[in-house]
Structure 1
């Protein structure tokens, strides 16, 4: 089972509270960065509300498949039907549905028949579109939950009339600062291309952006495509890279320019089969493919934490689209210090129609080559230095930060070692405990990992966690690695092969007293190891509850 972080627990509790207060026609909006774990979050909500029929709505087939995978990872007993992509599995307690399919009149009738009480809209910034509105209007009494990384739209339409004000918000800057996502470094790559004569038009969602055909004619040139390749060779050689283009033909031309330079590249588009996509993603993961170009296929639902470079070869006026694109490289992975953004920057002197760049999209001035965390730190320092009355507080803050840095560095983890076959190994402490992230069979779109260990002194193999996405497996492994560093004696608790774990629980012992104190049922034949796991799980839940309470208090006093 996937373990939610305290921030995800906070979001879950906020939605559950809103649902209990108004289960009929209630609303909730969660805004969280790409890579935060929105699918795992709403899958956990579905597990909590499994007594009602639930409809999960998305606009792409791969999003439906990913939602079904995560639902069954979070709750192995979940029964999930799919409507869309040629499937019509009506009648399951949980239905994942494609908006193109379910918005047709013949399918709208089934919405009333199966009495859905909760609608979850994935990537809900699309919800103002007519097809979504048809589905939502067909279920006026259902509770609505929208999840998105980017609630702002170019057409100015607000999501609040549909989902209410955000109950929880964590943007990409917050997630990076809290260590939930990898850092970002951006380099602006100048070109000689002009965007000044390109008109604007409405896209499929009703937003105004550069006219796609005019944009394609302006930027899909041999000179600009070669400039993209040269920028990669100068700044990003060896990095696993995805490149966003303006059209399928543009994507093919950019990929061809990379291949001619001896850099393995391929294209994924809307017509690429699911089998072929899985093969390309696997090649990008193992490094045999260096660059994967696309149009909009990878903006939503793409999940490959190893990607550590994003090329923005597609100018856009949309803040949402820009954030979605760069967020595809922000997931954490072993030894991934930052994701490099190569921002292909064209000339545009009409400020009203100027394209997005990373500074504009994040509302933060970022100097060339500067990490996002460095930019935030610099901006905060500059602001503090402008106000003389805060100088003393700034010095005190910096001194405290230095002290914290020293304490953290004492327990800094060494680097993960990447081995053949996608295996990651971490050697911990002077006793050289070994923790490994071991690829196991993929679950559809997502490569899953077991967390395994060999602990001193006998180094017998053991599995700590089974079949989890990389970011969750990494979180679990590093938490226990820190525990081994900070308390070497904890190896006795972590070692699944320790002799004490198989001993029967002493009814009069300390563990049994703790179980009774926490009101955890004691079953016949329970071992000390099983009791230890139950106590640890309960303590973790108490810590999460305490963190949620502290976060709520901070919010009330802010």
Structure 2
């Protein structure tokens, strides 16, 4: 290793011809060191190509200093997921619904390999959850588990690190035999992909409920972490009783007369811009290209963007939805209910009108933890929130979810469904409130549609 690169110093440059074409193409000659720099990502391919003729001066598979003992019994699909990952050479992505035990699959992999492991997560909340899971789930001594993020630095045999911290401390990436990327859909982003490229770990496991990305970059996961090796959808696990059986119910509402007039006015202004420019918007990519990007330099595009946003806000925040939420809370007064909204001002309004706790993006961390703990303990049975609890937070299980509004992304829908899927007596219910005769029914259909292309579009 030299810095964050592998350094290949061949006795004869012809030996490099044995490397795969993509590895050779990425080599960079270092005249000072008289060798070729390679991405640590390519270590398994280099090992396979050079075999026993190569001498390595570093340890790519450092063993754990203790014997991990898995606490708990794997479910059949978790055993199948691990087996599929092992068959793929210990590199790949496992896709399971929220609440189905993806973390336990990673613990199984660590227990099987017994190698020092780096777990990369998107948030500090997840960092804390993973540290606890590693200690409890593997009977690990406290001194071998640590986390890097939020101002804390260090290295432990089992280290959890945020994506942002991994970028800032790349030397850590060369000291582990197994890389676990939680919420792996973040990894192909232009900045975060450097984590996978710089990691020496020959074994890699990606976890996500929804790995697909709208920009199509999830296709790069095959090179960065490995191919998708196992997938189960919520309805499949519900059939076998491993997660709660659930149903989704759509409740339609109407705009009030005054809301309808404002909605139609903003919609006409948006469509007038498209007609004047001869544009047709068929996808989110079209909207970004023809409206969003142009809004910074074209005043007409900016006005169209504002009109589109206001029409969307009116439809998604229809005042009649509050009454429906009240009725649903009365119907489920003895059950734990999570309420989701696209807009934080709607969340706050629900909190004021219904006297229920709320969590939004600027809720102080201590207050957020206190609310979630009281919800978990049953002291609170109703909770309203925005996007902040979509991922990266261990949200206590609920029996009922009410989606007041949401985006068109399948990821968000799967995550919200997952909040009510943990095994329980009886069926879970997800209500989806949709304003008729607006753009919202189309958005709702889009988030429910299965992925049908390698771009992740529906």
Distance between the aligned counterparts of 1:356 and 1:154, measured in 2? 16
Q: 1:356 aligns with which of 418, 425, 444?
A: 444
Equivalent position of 1:5 in the other structure: 75
Normalised to the residue count of structure 1, the TM-score between the two structures is 0.55
Equivalent position of 2:85 in the other structure: 15
Equivalent position of 1:462 in the other structure: none
Is residue 183 of structure 1 aligned with residue 279 of structure 2?
no
Map 1:207-246 to 2 at 5 A: 214=310, 217-219=313-315, 221=317, 223-233=319-329, 235-246=331-342
Q: Which runs of 5+ in 2 are unaligned?
A: 1-70, 271-280, 293-304, 452-458
Q: 1:151 aligns with which of 211, 233, 236?
A: 211
Q: Which runs of 5+ in 1 are unaligned?
A: 21-26, 260-264, 364-558
Equivalent position of 2:189 in the other structure: 129
Q: CA deviation at 1:140?
A: 5.9
Equivalent position of 2:62 in the other structure: none
Equivalenced residue count is 339
Q: Where do 4+ consecutive residues of structure 1 move more than 6 Å?
A: 198-202, 208-212
Contact 1:322/1:361 (8 A) holds in 2: no
Higher RCO, Cα 8 Å, sep 6+: 2
Contact 1:241/1:308 (8 A) holds in 2: yes
Is residue 61 of structure 1 aligned with residue 124 of structure 2?
yes
Normalised to the residue count of structure 2, the TM-score between the two structures is 0.66
Map 1:405-420 to 2 at 5 A: none
Distance between the aligned counterparts of 1:131 and 1:232, measured in 2? 43
Equivalent position of 1:72 in the other structure: 135
Cα distance change on mapping 1:109 and 1:156 into 2, 3 Å: same
Q: CA deviation at 1:147?
A: 0.8
Is residue 36 of structure 1 aligned with residue 100 of structure 2?
yes
Q: Can you list the C-alpha shifts for 1:154-189, whole angstroms capped at 9, x where unaligned?
A: 333334433343222111011100101111122212
Q: Can you list the C-alpha shifts for 1:180-207, whole angstroms capped at 9, x where unaligned?
A: 11111222121225888489868xxx9x
Secondary structure of the corresponding residue to residue 119 of structure 1:
strand
Contact 2:312/2:439 (8 A) holds in 1: no
Q: Can you list the C-alpha shifts for 1:252-303, whole angstroms capped at 9, x where unaligned?
A: 11222222xxxxx111234434432332123223433232112223222444
Secondary structure of the corresponding residue to residue 355 of structure 1:
helix
Q: 1:108 aligns with which of 170, 190, 194?
A: 170
Is residue 341 of structure 1 aligned with residue 438 of structure 2?
no
Distance between the aligned counterparts of 1:201 and 1:34, measured in 2? 25
Contact 1:305/1:330 (8 A) holds in 2: no
Distance between the aligned counterparts of 1:139 and 1:82, measured in 2? 17
Distance between the aligned counterparts of 1:201 and 1:362, measured in 2? 16
Q: CA deviation at 1:117?
A: 2.4
Q: CA deviation at 1:43?
A: 1.7
Distance between the aligned counterparts of 1:348 and 1:38, measured in 2? 39
Secondary structure of the corresponding residue to residue 330 of structure 1:
coil
Equivalent position of 2:389 in the other structure: 298
